[in-house]
Copies of this chain bind each other. A is one copy, B any other.
Amino acid sequence: MEKWKQLILASKLFQGFSEGDLEAFLSVAKTNRETFQKGEVVANEEMPCTHIGIVISGLIDAQKTYPSGKYITIKHLGEGEMFGEVVVFSNRKTYPATLIAQTPTEVFFLQKEEIMRLQQEYPLLMLNFVQILSQKILTLNRRVKSLSYHTLRQRIVDFILEVYQKKGTLMFQLPVSRRQMAELLGTPRPSLSRELSKMREEGLIDFEKNSFKILDLDRLEAIFFE
A residues within 8 Å of B by Cβ? 66-68, 70, 72, 86-92, 96, 116, 119-120, 123, 126-127, 129-131, 133-138, 140-141, 143-144, 147-148, 161, 164-165, 217-218, 221, 224-225
Contacts and interface: CB of A to CB of B under 8 A. Distances in A.
A54 B96 CA distance: 31
Contacts of A127: 89, 116
Contacts of A164: 67
Contacts of A134: 86-90, 133
Contact of A136 (B137, B147, B217, B225): B137
21 contacts: A67-B161, A70-B221, A86-B134, A86-B141, A89-B127, A89-B130, A89-B134, A90-B131, A90-B134, A90-B137, A90-B138, A91-B131, A96-B141, A116-B127, A119-B119, A119-B120, A120-B120, A133-B134, A136-B137, A137-B140, A140-B140
A133 B85 CA distance: 11
B140 A141 contact: yes
Contact of A66 (B91, B141, B148, B221): B221
> Quick one: copies of this chain in the complex?
2
B130 A129 contact: yes
Nearest to A87: B134
Contacts of A116: 123, 127
B137 A68 contact: no
Contacts of A224: 72
Contacts of A129: 130
A148 B136 CA distance: 18
Given A70-B221, A90-B137, A147-B147, 8 more contacts: A68-B217, A89-B130, A90-B134, A116-B123, A116-B127, A119-B120, A120-B123, A136-B137
